[in-house]
Structure 1
């Protein structure tokens, strides 16, 4: 082991030799980004460490107050001088518009020629135009459908033509028949973030996407792959709309276009709008009181425990790795890789809820549908890159921190809505499917870090572990059944309703009595699916300890195994192996105080089968749910 300091990001190293004067800047960048000859876990980790260091330094040093202040002053002055319309909007969470790849292939948002983050005028025009076209088409279709001489297809075609014609009068079109309609009646200005004292960068902040699950043919693989990039966090933008027509008519046109623009912004712009990104609202509006466009489900919740975490941060970005305090050597993991001196930063992330509900949709569907059909409908409902699907369902969650009573709580509202891609004839089936899926998902585990374990406290560090989802409402969706037998009835009713909606949506026969086995189960192999090899139980018991009853039995058995067979212990509770691969726990436990709900994947083989035996043997009461 060496005391030589580990290298930081190659972008922060002063080269020993100056590049040749004839080399272009692009050549210089290519030299600095010379690809590794071996792509393995070690090189991937090194690249991710480098990205984190580079992005955190860039974020810490970003101070655009002077430039953004001038740019917003210019927007305000031009708009007022032309008697235009000013619109101030805020993003409750994050937004990522446009952009390109920068150093280390880091995804960046849109920057102007000065390097300032912004929303281009062309983007705003496109959003307003599309919202106008959709709104006019929808109203026109309803009007034409009332006429007896119009079939649904004819009404749709007529509505589209009318929308084209009316939108053209505001936004212009080169092929317009009327000369006055060939030029837009309004001009959009680029929109810049308004700098705040605590965000001199205009909201430019480190962000992370992590695709935990991916399909490899018919096999579902768990492979955490955190991808770091920049987005804008909770920015406020000033938007200017200028009239080309002077006087009262111009003001009227600007006001109508601003109304359409606001409708488009409230639905979300940029990337990942179905996952909570990109939604913009008026700055004076209470976000938790607003509805999503075409919203069909709203749930108030509390997350207790580890909560939802986003990115990791370095304690000191200029000294990214850990040193042993006694020896001074650089600390390394079991694979010999340098350990980052990092920590997790808590963040309320709507995308975590989408990942949770999507996970349970996949798990329940795999037991009753062929794998290919599950892949198709997962992509259709939730979106996918390959094959490209926009997704029929939008998921959002907003935090209401003023209601939080404890430091380890996150309080908010979870919402689902139809996306513009969702066919109208499937709306009812989608709503039924998602309502029952969410009821099941909220009763099977938590969300975010520690989602597979219930919340509990311990004396060692970290003190808080696990995650619990609490629904504080008193309606039929939120109210928890008082006894295990009532919970069993409610659970099976919701699962039956889910299956009915799935059958209606997919036009496939669904019969959970003829449940499938997704894979050949063994001690170290199982599928994360509610299939023939999965069991879900409701149990109750007391152990007089700080942990929930079912978790205490699991941990006791784990420690017995871990002392003599670490592989068997991993096959019970998950964990990291010597090869660096991480296995997620095959057991989920949700705690509701009076009883717990335990999901065991691959329950037909030990050590998971033995855990179920111990659980049932020591339970005061137990009911099999699936």
Structure 2
């Protein structure tokens, strides 16, 4: 018998996901598998460590759940795609000097010399089925934990580190869940903060860890108190009334800080390429921004900062991440940013 759970997902922000044909929007199970694998690696790495020998243990645990070149995956992910509406992303700004905050976050989705990317618009609802073989109960639970991390701390598709592809589990069959992780929409910002903190602890427990070690360093993104920080961003302690309002504020703050408060060398930590500097080097941002829904159609931003010391040959130390932390401190002062315990 196969263990199987069907979730209903709803997009909070535009979801830019495509296959070989980048002009068409397509729901791809492989993208969800990749996202779950990324967050599962971050979870296990924060428990095991990231040194050479520890990495072997992380790789083995990752392969046991998601497969490797010589073994298939325990998990199966299916999206029985219904007839969904798709649209070309329409930017809201005509003047780059006075760019809308949402457009700034999604700037590469409307390139100058080609058509804007197609997307699944916000409030698109679709099912996703996660299943595993009956004799793989522990691994199935870990797979559900990876799905929880993906939907609560990150997003899917292009520009997912800049709020695009934010997802909300709209319907979760709580009576059928074999884990204690909550997929419910939180009523308040404080309730969400507690849900995230407790959820990460439960996910660790499912991997056999009750007390995570204190890591001194990390060579890849891991969920550890010394190498990761998570904040909930809001409008002075109050949630935004719409995803558009949230993205406009966040994007505007990021644009103004990035353009006016730091130099080119400092900008590198936000991701590469940077105009007129390392234009041929690509390095993803260590800062993940995604929107989450509260009860009453209200929204907050989850900001996850991973601090690694080695990334694609570029050496970093903790001081390199100060511009990102300063952006949060400067633009979301007071009650606008509350930290989630790890």
* Structure 2 contact 258–267 (Cα < 8 Å) conserved: yes
Counterpart for residue 433 of structure 1: 142
2:258 to 550, 558, 569: 558
Superposed counterparts of 1:31-430, under 5 Å = 294-303=2-11, 304-312=13-21, 344-369=23-48, 370-385=54-69, 388-402=70-84, 408-409=121-122, 410-419=124-133, 424=135, 427-430=136-139
* Structure 1 contact 551–589 (Cα < 8 Å) conserved: no
Q: 1:431, CA displacement in angstroms?
A: 2.8
Q: 1:416 to 1:307 in 2, by over 3 A?
A: same
* Structure 1 contact 400–411 (Cα < 8 Å) conserved: no
2:204 to 477, 499, 523: 499
Tell me the distance in 1 between the aligned counterparts of 2:246 and 2:142: 37
Tell me the distance in 1 between the aligned counterparts of 2:246 and 2:83: 27
**2:47 partner SS:** coil
Counterpart for residue 29 of structure 1: none
* Structure 1 contact 561–568 (Cα < 8 Å) conserved: no
Q: 1:352, CA displacement in angstroms?
A: 0.5
* Structure 2 contact 142–203 (Cα < 8 Å) conserved: yes
Counterpart for residue 596 of structure 1: 301
Counterpart for residue 222 of structure 2: 529
Tell me the distance in 1 between the aligned counterparts of 2:188 and 2:273: 34
Higher Rg of the two aligned structures: 1
**2:167 partner SS:** strand
Unaligned runs of 5+ in 2: 49-53, 88-118, 175-181, 293-297, 309-317
* Structure 1 contact 393–417 (Cα < 8 Å) conserved: yes
Q: Could you say what the CA RMSD is over the residues aligned between the two structures, in angstroms? A: 3.0
Counterpart for residue 623 of structure 1: 339
Q: 1:585, CA displacement in angstroms?
A: 0.9
Q: 1:586 to 1:574 in 2, by over 3 A?
A: farther
1:41-83 deviations in whole A, cap 9, x for unaligned? Answer: xxxxxxxxxxxxxxxxxxxxxxxxxxxxxxxxxxxxxxxxxxx
* Structure 2 contact 37–146 (Cα < 8 Å) conserved: no
Q: 1:380, CA displacement in angstroms?
A: 1.6
* Structure 2 contact 196–340 (Cα < 8 Å) conserved: no
Unaligned runs of 5+ in 1: 1-292, 313-342, 455-465, 504-508, 520-525
TM-score (norm 2): 0.69
1:9-45 deviations in whole A, cap 9, x for unaligned? Answer: xxxxxxxxxxxxxxxxxxxxxxxxxxxxxxxxxxxxx
**2:230 partner SS:** strand
Tell me the distance in 2 between the aligned counterparts of 1:588 and 1:470: 16
Q: 1:432, CA displacement in angstroms?
A: 2.4
TM-score (norm 1): 0.40
Tell me the distance in 1 between the aligned counterparts of 2:130 and 2:211: 27
Tell me the distance in 2 between the aligned counterparts of 1:361 and 1:548: 31
Superposed counterparts of 1:426-465, under 5 Å = 427-454=136-163
Q: Count the aligned residue pairs.
A: 272
2:195 to 490, 508, 523: 490
Q: 1:359, CA displacement in angstroms?
A: 0.6
1:104-125 deviations in whole A, cap 9, x for unaligned? Answer: xxxxxxxxxxxxxxxxxxxxxx
Higher relative contact order (CA 8 A, sep 6+): 2
**2:184 partner SS:** coil
* Structure 1 contact 356–447 (Cα < 8 Å) conserved: yes
Q: 1:518, CA displacement in angstroms?
A: 4.0
Q: 1:374, CA displacement in angstroms?
A: 0.6
Q: 1:553, CA displacement in angstroms?
A: 2.8
Counterpart for residue 109 of structure 2: none
* Structure 1 contact 484–623 (Cα < 8 Å) conserved: no
